[in-house]
Amino acid sequence: MKTRKLVALIGAAVLATASLTACGSTETTAESAAETTAAESTAETTVEESSATTEEANTDLSGSITMAGSTSMEKLANAVAESFMEKYPNVTVSAEFTGSGAGIESLTAGSVDIGNSSRNLKDEEKEAGAVENIVAIDGIAVVVDPANTVTDLTKDQLISIYTGETTNWSELGGADEPIVVVGREAGSGTRGAFEELLEIEDACVYANELDSTGAVMAKVASTPGAIGYVSLDVVDDSVIAVALEGVEATAENIKAGNYFLSRPFVMATMGEISEQSPEVQALFEYLASDEGKEVISSVGLITVD
């Protein structure tokens, strides 16, 4: 009888212990779940607050940015302006395409905030207060009409064409056809960079001197025997981009330093970037960001880092 009572007491004790353990486990689980939910809620709140702060900052920035200069930078300038204004809806970015030299003149005269130049700044421009801010690298493609069979030129051959020493494609292994030398107008950044890179400033003999990149493309595409130079990013299948010294005009070859016709795209300012308006500073910060670099790459240019 005593044995039965002892067993009963032990069983009751075991059940009580199990019940207490189960209760404790349930409470711990509930507390853990509550803590997890609170942590997630805090994280979500932090993200939302951060996003709200960024949006507020974007909305707070207001004003205008004016640019003028290189026609070769038109595609880049328009793409950057559009995407920047989406990010900062209260900022207006406007650009005129007047040529590199004219753009820097407008900058030093105080007419614009940024002077776009598709070449390095000249010493006299820097002396006037213009600061060179390189935002991208462009390759200069040499293009010929789509029926031309000469698709590779050496540097010396290119120089001889543009200085008027070589006047017929047959001298270069092509058809017996006169070479029609097409180039940009005086003051063009593309022309300046092209002639400087080949060291033929003031020595070129042009059949046509045109005032925009698009005009050069159209002229070469429609003229038998024509040759011209344009920004790499505008090349399409209406022309043939010739290789130079056996190297094709591609972003990869330019980055590797294998293609000798390349140049900087400069957004010049009067004084350092830190001295500019908040809107202009924000634009340069945007260009240096991953988002800005995507825009630069999207128009066929090479980022500077």
Here the tokens at position 183 are 């180039």
Q: What share of the chain is helix, strand, coil (3-state, %, to 5)?
A: 50, 20, 30
265 CB burial (10 A radius; 0-12, 13-18, 19+): buried
What band does 47 get if pLDDT is binned at 50, 70 and 90?
Answer: very low
End-to-end CA distance of the chain: 92
Q: Is the pLDDT of residue 40 over 60?
A: no
Which residues, 6+ apart, have CB-to-CB distance to 250 below 8 Å?
A: 139, 259
Q: Which amino acid is at 238?
A: S
Verdict on whether the full-model pTM lies above 0.75:
no
Here the tokens at position 101 are 């030299």
Region at 175 (left for phi over 0; alpha for psi -120 to 50; beta for the rest)? beta
Full DSSP string of 136-181? EEEEEEEEE-TT----EE-HHHHHHHHTTS--BGGGGTS-S-B-EE
Phi, psi values for residue 10, rounded to 5°: -65, -45
Nearest to 180 by CA among 232, 227, 218: 227
Cα–Cα distance, 91 to 105 (Å, whole number): 24
- Average pLDDT of span 285-298: 96
Question: pLDDT digits over 148-206, tens only?
Answer: 999 999 999 999 999 999 999 999 999 999 999 999 999 888 899 899 899 999 999 99
Q: Is the pLDDT of residue 279 over 60?
A: yes
SS3 (DSSP) at 278: helix
Question: pLDDT digits over 62-106, tens only?
Answer: 999 999 999 989 999 999 999 999 999 999 999 999 999 999 999
Cα–Cα distance, 92 to 85 (Å, whole number): 6
